[in-house]
Amino acid sequence: MTLLIIGILLWVGAHMFKRLAPEARARMGDKGKGLVALALLASIVLMVIGYRGAAFVNVWYPPSFMVHINNLLMLIAFFVFGLSATTGSLRGRLRHPQLLAVKIWAVAHLLVNGDLASIVLFGSMLIWAGSEVAVINRAESWERPAPGDPKRNLLLVVITVVTFAITAAIHAWLGVWPFPG
């Protein structure tokens, strides 16, 4: 659990550094981008190792039907995340699509995982994403981008389904079957 918590703290610190200490981050220049990226990579590695190595402490027993809700929410999360890069007519519908996608991802995983390590990991990511939105909204104004070509929305749907399938395959490869039996 220690590595998991260190990874979470490193993740939050690396993401919030630019917002909470903008002068210090600016002094680092381009070299700072590499250091932040390295910190984020290290945080992911620590979170994965810490999560997989944490003792299983069951806190609650999720009902089996939650798997269906999780999978639907995950499909939505991939779509919402993709809104940040779309050039279709849906561009600019949401101010923080990536952070909203993280919140959806976290809630989806909290619905199907009742163990302590899951609550720590996914709960902290939910809190972090909400905090990040609040900090960004306070610091920056936003100008909604103009919508693009509606035909590009189809590409977003295809990429969403393919990415969801790849992620499900990776979960299966890691020994976590994401679909009900």
- 5-14, 28-37, 116-125: range with lowest mean pLDDT: 28-37
Q: Tokens at residue 63, please?
A: 């009902």
9 vs 21, higher pLDDT: 9
The H-or-E segment that residue 46 falls in is helix 22-53
- Dump pLDDT digits (tens) for 56-81: 999 999 999 999 999 999 999 999 99
Amino acid at 62: P
Per-residue pLDDT, averaged over 127-144, amounts to 92
Per-residue pLDDT, averaged over 2-29, amounts to 91
Name the DSSP letter for residue 86. -
Predicted pLDDT at 142? 87
Amino acid at 64: S
Quote the pTM value. Answer: 0.91
Q: Tokens at residue 46, please?
A: 């620590």
- Burial degree of 150 (CB within 10 A; 0-12, 13-18, 19+): exposed
Residue found under tokens 């390295």:
38
Predicted pLDDT at 15? 93
- 20-34, 74-88, 102-116, 125-139: range with lowest mean pLDDT: 20-34
Listed by start position, the domains of the chain span 1-54, 56-181
Predicted pLDDT at 72? 96
Per-residue pLDDT, averaged over 94-109, amounts to 96
Predicted pLDDT at 55? 96
Angle (nearest 5°) at CA 43 between 156 and 82: 5
